[in-house]
Amino acid sequence: MGAKNKYSVLLPTYNERENLPIIVWLLVKSFTEREKKLGLGTAYIHGIKHATGNFIIIMDADLSHHPKFIPKFIEKQKEKDYDVVSGTRYSGSGGVYGWDLKRKIISRGANYVTQVLLRPGASDLTGSFRLYKKSVLEKLVQSCKSKGYVFQMEMIIRARQFGFTIGEVPISFVDRVYGESKLGGNEIFQFAKGLLFLFATT
Q: What is the DSSP string of 17-51?
A: GGGHHHHHHHHHHH-SS-------THHHHHHHHH-
Any domain includes 28: no
Mean pLDDT confidence for 45-58: 84
82/131 Cα distance (integer angstroms): 9
Confidence check: pLDDT of 55 > 90 = yes
Query: Is residue 159 situated within a structural domain?
Result: yes
Higher pLDDT, 141 or 178: 141
Sign of the dihedral defined by the CA atoms of residues 108, 113, 114, 116, in that order? positive
43 assigned to some structural domain:
no
The residue type found at 201 is: T
Range list of H helices, 66-184:
70-80, 101-118, 134-143, 151-161
Residue 23 pLDDT greater than 50, yes or no? yes
- Does position 34 have pLDDT exceeding 60, yes or no? no
Whether the pLDDT of residue 32 is over 50: the answer is no
Structure confidence at residue 44 (pLDDT): 79
With CA atoms as reference, report the closest residue to 24 among 58, 74, 52, 61.
Answer: 61
**CA 138 and chain centroid, separation:** 14
Taking each continuous run of H as one helix and of E as one strand, the counts in the chain are 7, 7
- What's the full length of the chain, in residues? 202
pLDDT at 35: 42
Residue 154 clears pLDDT 60, i.e. is over it: yes
- Residue 38 has a pLDDT of 34
Q: Is residue 103 part of a domain?
A: yes
Per-residue pLDDT tens for 155-182?
999 999 999 999 999 999 988 654 455 5
Indicate whether 9 belongs to any domain.
no
Q: In the chain, how many domains are there?
A: 1
**Domain contains 178:** yes
For residues 47 and 142, the model is more confident at: 142
Enclosing domain of residue 81: 54-200
Q: Can you give the pTM of this predicted structure?
A: 0.76
Angle at which helices 20-30 and 70-80 pack, to 10 degrees? 50
Q: Over range 54-68, report the average pLDDT.
A: 87
The answer to the question of residue 5 being in a domain is no
Q: Model confidence over 89-132: pLDDT tens digits?
A: 998 999 888 888 888 888 888 888 888 888 888 999 888 899 99
Phi, psi of 130 (to 5 degrees): -145, 155
As a whole number, the mean pLDDT across the chain is 82
- In this structure, is residue 34 part of a structural domain? no
